[in-house]
C-alpha cells in the first residue's frame, strides 16, 4: 500500500505528542499514524525532543523535520504498519468502534451509509460509506472538518485522496465537494466541529440532520 500523500499538520502532531488534543482528534491522528511512516517518524522525533528537554539534556535537540511534499515521501521512511486485508479500520478505530461490519449504519439514500462513533468535547465522530462514483454535494462546516480515508478514494480540488490520506476543511467559507472513485466504494472517518453549511441553506440543515440525528 503506498504511503499517504496528505498528512496531519505539525501542530496536530505536536498536540498528539503532548496529549493536548481532544479525544476525537487524538483518535483521528492515531488512525493516520497507522498508515503514515512519515508522520510516525516525526512523532518519534517530537517525543525524543520532549524527552531531552525534560531530562535537562545539554545536547542540542534535533531539528524538527518538515513533512514531505504530497508526491515525495521520504525514501528512508519505514514501511506502513501492516493492515490485515479484511480490516478496513486501523487498530485505534477498531478498538473504539469495532470492525466495519460491527458498526450500525443508517441508510441515507443513494447508496450512502452513515454510522455514528461518538459525540464528545463538542465534536462528532462518524464513519461514512460512499458508493462508487458519487458526487458529494458542495458543503462546509462552521468549525473544522477532519477526514481520513479508510477505503477507496476520491478526487477533490484537483487532488486525489486515497487510503491513509487526511483532508481538513475549516469554516463555512471553505466549501468543498468530492467525486468518489468509480472503481469501488469509499469509506472515511470524520471528526467535525459545528453543523454543516451549504447552498441552499436547507441542504446544509438536511445533511446535518442526517449525519447527527
CATH classification of the domain holding 175: 2.60.120.10
Q: Residue 49 domain-assigned?
A: no
Total tally of structural domains belonging to the chain? 1
Residue ranges of the chain with per-residue pLDDT less than 50: 68-78, 80-86, 202-205, 210
Q: Residue 159 domain-assigned?
A: yes
Q: Could you identify the residue written with the cell 483518535?
A: 27
Q: Residue 16 domain-assigned?
A: no
Q: Residue 163 domain-assigned?
A: yes
pLDDT of residue 22: 96
Q: Residue 13 domain-assigned?
A: no
pLDDT of residue 103: 86
Domain of residue 208: give its range: 91-212
Q: Residue 103 domain-assigned?
A: yes
pLDDT digits (tens, 9 = 90+) for 179-211: 999 999 999 999 998 777 765 554 444 555 545
Amino acid at each position: 500500500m503506498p504511503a499517504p500523500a496528505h498528512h496531519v499538520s505539525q501542530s496536530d502532531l505536536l498536540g498528539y505528542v503532548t496529549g493536548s488534543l481532544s479525544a476525537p482528534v487524538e483518535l483521528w491522528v492515531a488512525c493516520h499514524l497507522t498508515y503514515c511512516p512519515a508522520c510516525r517518524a516525526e512523532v518519534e522525533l517530537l517525543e525524543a525532543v520532549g524527552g531531552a528537554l525534560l531530562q535537562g539534556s545539554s545536547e542540542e535537540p534535533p531539528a524538527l523535520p518538515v513533512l514531505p511534499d504530497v508526491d515525495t515521501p521520504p525514501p528512508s521512511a519505514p514501511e506502513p504498519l501492516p493492515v490485515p486485508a479484511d480490516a478496513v479500520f486501523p487498530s485505534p478505530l477498531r478498538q473504539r468502534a469495532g470492525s466495519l461490519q460491527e458498526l450500525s449504519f443508517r441508510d441515507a439514500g443513494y447508496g450512502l451509509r452513515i454510522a455514528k462513533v461518538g459525540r464528545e468535547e463538542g465534536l462528532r465522530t462518524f464513519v461514512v460509506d460512499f458508493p462508487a462514483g458519487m458526487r458529494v454535494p458542495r458543503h462546509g462546516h462552521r468549525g473544522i472538518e477532519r477526514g481520513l480515508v479508510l477505503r477507496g478514494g476520491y478526487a477533490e480540488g484537483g487532488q486525489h485522496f486515497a487510503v491513509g490520506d487526511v483532508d481538513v476543511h475549516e469554516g463555512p467559507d471553505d466549501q468543498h465537494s468530492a467525486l468518489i472513485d468509480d472503481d469501488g466504494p469509499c469509506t472515511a472517518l470524520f471528526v467535525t466541529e459545528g453543523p454543516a453549511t451549504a447552498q441552499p441553506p436547507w441542504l446544509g440543515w438536511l445533511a446535518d440532520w442526517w449525519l447527527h440525528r
